[in-house]
């Protein structure tokens, strides 16, 4: 575990949460545990730090939510969407 630096993706600097990941070209990069896990489970390994950041972008982008698969999916999306997302879609607060 690294005792210095910060996550190359999100900037987290708490040494207790930092570790490293190896890029496809062999470079070792300091990342937080969440981003290490995401990179390890990814279909492909990042080649550069810029590539790693692009791969780890927030995947909760609303464009990926369409089409809504079923009623349960619709209810989960509604429950976890931010208030601004609900207002933007025309829904009113109850």
* Mean predicted confidence (pLDDT) in 73-93: 67
Indicate the average pLDDT of the chain. Answer: 80
Range of the domain at 45: 15-55
Tokens matching residue 78? 């509604």
Please check whether residue 8 lies inside any domain of the structure: no
Give the predicted TM-score (pTM) of the model: 0.59
Give residue 34's pLDDT: 93
Q: Verify that 21 and 41 share a domain, yes or no.
A: yes
Which DSSP letter does residue 26 get? S
pLDDT digits (tens, 9 = 90+) for 34-48: 999 999 999 899 999
Residue whose tokens read 């290490």: 36
Please check whether residue 7 lies inside any domain of the structure: no
């Amino acid at each position: 575990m690294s005792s210095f630096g910060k996550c190359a993706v999100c900037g987290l600097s708490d040494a207790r949460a930092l570790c490293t990941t190896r890029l496809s070209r062999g470079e070792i990069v300091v990342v937080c545990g969440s981003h290490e896990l995401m990179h390890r489970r990814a279909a492909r390994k990042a080649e550069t730090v810029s590539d790693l950041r692009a791969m780890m972008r927030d995947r909760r982008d609303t464009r990926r939510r369409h089409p809504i698969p079923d009623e349960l999916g619709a209810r989960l999306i509604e429950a976890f969407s931010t208030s601004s997302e609900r207002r933007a879609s025309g829904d009113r607060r109850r």
